[in-house]
Structure 1
Amino acid sequence: MRRPGGLTFAEDPVRDARSARILWHASLDPGILDVDVEPADPAHPESLIVARLAPWLTCVPGRVAGEHAVLSNGDHRIRLDVLSGNLSGQEAVMLSFRISGIAGAERRLVPLRQLVSLHRHGRFGRSLFPAEPRMKRWLTTLRVHDAIVSGASHQDIGIAFYGTERVASGWDTGSDSLRSRVRRLASEAARMTAGGWRRLMRGGG
């Protein structure tokens, strides 16, 4: 079943997850940095040298003007929406950030620090990209969804996660049987694909 997603453009489905450069719609990506861009003298102390970011930079033209840009190494990302001007094709630029409101400023403090650090040091600093403690659970949920779509039964999923011997001995044993665990994972996968992923994108649990 085809469903509307939250992307500003369709990435090539042949790409794997690490090489894909995903640009989510602004309503699902609250940390986007809105910027106006002007060409600048590379010698100016406030200018951003585009070549420093080139290894991680992907730009997509906006529908009306400007660009959507993402900086990503496959594990971490920084998103910019260029409201006027262009990053692509420039040697150096001056960025003017559009930030309004206390809440809006708070959401953008970390992305701003990440951008400055990447430009200055040429790497995605670990301290600015803390590990997501729920990531393992989310990946498991995605694996369960993929298995169900491929026609796997709950027992097939149990064998893939826990092994044949454990499923044979503990599929229906106890209040927290393997069958119950897989059912919970399947229910969570259904909720996620029914729209729960939007809540995660916006910073919800």
Structure 2
Amino acid sequence: MLLRYALIGSVGCDAEAQVLPLRRLAGLYRTGQFLPALFPRERKVERLIEVLRVADALSAGASQREIAACLFGTERISRDWRAASDSLRSQVRRLVSRARHMAAGGYRSFLAIDGTDM
């Protein structure tokens, strides 16, 4: 088997991202399994999971308060939902806005190579 791998662009900070898939393949070949060190957790994963949960809740007809209760717990909602700071409700509104944006086609930019959307 002959494997060719082309590096495109200039050498620099972009080079590591281009070599990473090759390192992953080599690790899989060497050990027979994916090496966890070569698959670091994406920083945006937690936020994306929340957005997906909110999108599911919206499609099921949940209110913003119900969504907040699922994400943050009923105790916090009863304590902070009507608080003077309004930060909890604002956070839920941002998540709802993001979920609607993603459902309306914004997910396409998430699929971009550089992942700059999230």
TM-score > 0.5, shorter chain as reference: yes
Q: Displacement of 1:98 after TM fit?
A: 5.1
Question: What percent identity do the matched residue pairs reach?
Answer: 42
| CA deviation vs aligned residue, 1:2-24 (integer Å, no higher than 9, x gap) | xxxxxxxxxxxxxxxxxxxxxxx
Give 2:97's aligned amino acid. S
The normalised TM-score by structure 2 is 0.79
**Which is helix-richer, 1 or 2?**
2
Unaligned runs of 5+ in 2: none
Mapped pair 1:195 → 2:105 = yes
Residues 108/95 of structure 1: CA separation in 2 closer, same or farther (3 Å cut): farther
| CA deviation vs aligned residue, 1:69-120 (integer Å, no higher than 9, x gap) | xxxxxxxxxxxxxxxxxxxxxxxxx1332526326x9453111111111011
SS at match of 2:85: coil
The normalised TM-score by structure 1 is 0.48
Mapped pair 1:119 → 2:26 = no
Report the equivalent of 1:97.
4
SS at match of 2:82: coil
SS at match of 1:97: coil
Cα distance in structure 1, aligned partners of 2:71 and 2:20: 36
Answer whether contact 2:54 2:95 (CA < 8 A) is retained. yes
Mapped pair 1:151 → 2:61 = yes
SS at match of 2:61: coil
- CA-based RMSD: 2.1
Count residues with an aligned counterpart: 111
Answer whether contact 2:55 2:100 (CA < 8 A) is retained. yes
Report the equivalent of 1:167.
77
Unaligned runs of 5+ in 1: 1-93
| CA deviation vs aligned residue, 1:117-157 (integer Å, no higher than 9, x gap) | 10111111122111111111110110000000011111111
SS at match of 2:34: coil
Residues 98/112 of structure 1: CA separation in 2 closer, same or farther (3 Å cut): closer
Report the equivalent of 1:137.
47
Which has the larger Rg? 1
Give 2:100's aligned amino acid. A
